[in-house]
Amino acid sequence: MLTARFRDALGLAAELHAGQVRKGTHVPYISHLMAVCAVVIENGGDEDEAVAALLHDAVEDQGGAPTLERIRERYGDRVAEIVAGCTDTDVTPKPPWRARKEHYLAHLPRASRSVLLVSTADKLHNARTILADFRACGEEVWCRFKGGREGSLWYYRALVETYRAIETTPLVEELDRVVTELERLAGAPVPTTSS
């Protein structure tokens, strides 16, 4: 069961991301955090993993290292380590996009199972959203992302391959299905090695 600690984290996530919306939309950012949290819980995540899912973007988007320490003090080392493992940078301005993504991919094989659960849930929700938005508005969706069409498709396919090399899970397989459909609709070459 989720405790008052979870409710506190939901409140903190809403506070930290209060003025933030999803890229290129008017959708409050908290919707993404709640969706990632739901995926984590539905896939067997415990309370620490659920709390980390709610806060997984807080360091990157809302204050860097001081925010991570605030999370550590409030929710403990395990939650802070999961959040840190899901963060591709804690500095502003952010390093170049491609270098950040390559660094993130490179760290995943050493990540804990908890980091992998929250990370995969995050990327799955992002990919689902991109696919839905692509269906609604077409190619203009790529203008929202620093990597554009080619970079975004590269990154999501690289995520699938990296996660799968670590362990094949239902979440990884679902991410593969979503990314494959996105590649198909975007006219990208679809890998023939997916299962």
CATH architecture for segment(s) 4-186: Orthogonal Bundle (1.10)
Arithmetic mean of pLDDT, 147-161 = 97
- Catalytic position from the list 61, 102, 161, 183: 61
Burial class (CB in 10 A: 0-12, 13-18, 19+), 183: middle
Identify the residue whose tokens are 């995520």: 159
Distance CA 19, CA 85 (A): 24
Query: Residue ranges of the domains in the chain?
Result: 4-186
- Catalytic position from the list 48, 60, 81, 133: 60
**Inter-CA distances, 95 with 10, 103, 109, 123, Å:** 29, 11, 22, 20
State yes or no: is 60 an active-site residue: yes
Contact assessment for residue 125 and residue 54, using Cβ atoms and an 8 Å cutoff? no
Whole-prediction pTM: 0.94
Task: Return the pLDDT at 194.
Answer: 47
Angle at 149 between CA 132 and CA 25, to 5 degrees: 45
State yes or no: is 173 an active-site residue: no
Task: Return the pLDDT at 191.
Answer: 60
Residue 195 reports pLDDT greater than 80: no
Judged by average pLDDT, the poorest of 24-28, 123-127, 147-151, 166-170 is 24-28
